[in-house]
Amino acid sequence: MLKGKGEYILAITGASGAILGVRLLERLRSLGFEVHLILSREARAILREETGREPKALSSLASFSYAEEDLSAPLASGSFVAPNIRAMVVVPCSMKTLAAIAGGYADNLITRAADVVLKEGKELLLVVRESPFNAIHLENMLKMALLGVRIIPAMPCFYQRPKTVEELVDQMVSRILDQLGIHGKEGSRWKGRRPRVEGRKRVKRPRS
Ligand SMILES: Cc1cc2nc3c(=O)[nH]c(=O)nc-3n(C[C@H](O)[C@H](O)[C@H](O)COP(=O)(O)O)c2cc1C
């Protein structure tokens, strides 16, 4: 994978799947990108429950770390975001944070930064997690998608026959990186269906 330069905002909210945010942070940092990290209050608790990790340890991995209450942080202003930030990813994104962003209700640093990213015409990716979705969730996602926001459900695929949760997580994180234009060479890409071998005869793919 190519090493890169650039700054990203990574917000982790209180949906299930904190490990997705953790792995994305680790991958971005190992590639040389700067990461501005914001954890919501609920994300801190869920991070402990789901991964056994402490928010402090995670913050130390980031280039910059902020409390969600810190509305005076640079990320709250377009004058900082416009020249410095490439994109913002909320992973996992709770339905509450999705609703707040969709409603323009910027009462914490995560929703304010998302609001700023949108108004400054930067890329916003929401890795939403809930099941099942109700009509409010779907309406909010549609509203965001129509504004050009990438809605990436925390929904792995199974065609690579993953053997561990770590493999599933890494594959999902690779797809998020793809959406940021950061493409790796790892082996989790679909390369087409292999022609089936029956007996000794190779069955050719039908021409389309
Ligand atoms: C263990 C646990 C798992 C949760 N999982 C989800 C989830 O997958 N999706 C979701 O939208 N909310 C989930 N919630 C509820 C959110 O944490 C709650 O709506 C919270 O207000 C979100 O706040 P935040 O977006 O500021 O982090 C979960 C809560 C707990 C305690």
Reading the chain (208 residues) residue by residue, the pLDDT tens digits are 445 689 999 999 999 999 999 999 999 999 999 999 999 999 999 999 999 999 999 999 999 999 999 999 999 999 999 999 999 999 999 999 999 999 999 999 999 999 999 999 999 999 999 999 999 999 999 999 999 999 999 999 998 899 999 999 999 999 999 999 999 876 678 788 877 766 666 656 665 4
Residue bearing the CA closest to ligand 1, atom 31 = 46
To test the pocket of ligand 1, the residue of 96, 97, 126, 141 to mutate (highest count of ligand atoms within 8 Å of its CB) is 96
Q: Indicate the pTM of the whole model.
A: 0.92
Distance 94 CA to ligand 1 centre (A): 6
Domain annotation for the chain: domains and CATH numbers: 7-202 (3.40.50.1950)
CB 160, CB 170: distance < 8 Å: no
3-class secondary structure per residue, the chain: CCCCCCEEEEEECCCCCHHHHHHHHHHHHHCCCEEEEEECHHHHHHHHHHHCCCHHHHHHHCCEEEECCCCCCHHHCHHHHHHHEEEEEEEEECHHHHHHHHCCCCCCHHHHHHHHHHHCCCEEEEEECCCCCCHHHHHHHHHHHHCCCEECCCCCCCCCCCCCHHHHHHHHHHHHHHHCCCCCCCCCCCCCCCCCEECCEECCCCCC
Distance 200 CA to ligand 1 centre (A): 54
- Say whether the peptide bond before residue 206 is cis (omega within 30 degrees of 0): no
Q: Which residue is it, tokens 């793919």? A: 205
From the CB of 21, is ligand 1 less than 6 Å away? no
What pLDDT, on the 0 to 100 scale, is given for residue 80?
A: 97
Type of residue at 14? G
What pLDDT, on the 0 to 100 scale, is given for residue 175?
A: 95
What pLDDT, on the 0 to 100 scale, is given for residue 208?
A: 47
Atom of ligand 1 nearest to the CA of 50: 1
CA distance 24 to 170: 9
From the CB of 16, is ligand 1 less than 6 Å away? yes
What pLDDT, on the 0 to 100 scale, is given for residue 185?
A: 72
Left if phi > 0, otherwise alpha if psi is -120 to 50, otherwise beta: which for 121? Answer: left
From the CB of 94, is ligand 1 less than 6 Å away? yes
To test the pocket of ligand 1, the residue of 39, 94, 133 to mutate (highest count of ligand atoms within 8 Å of its CB) is 94
Distance 97 CA to ligand 1 centre (A): 9
Q: Which of 120, 72, 101 is closest to 11 using CA atoms? A: 101
What pLDDT, on the 0 to 100 scale, is given for residue 1?
A: 46
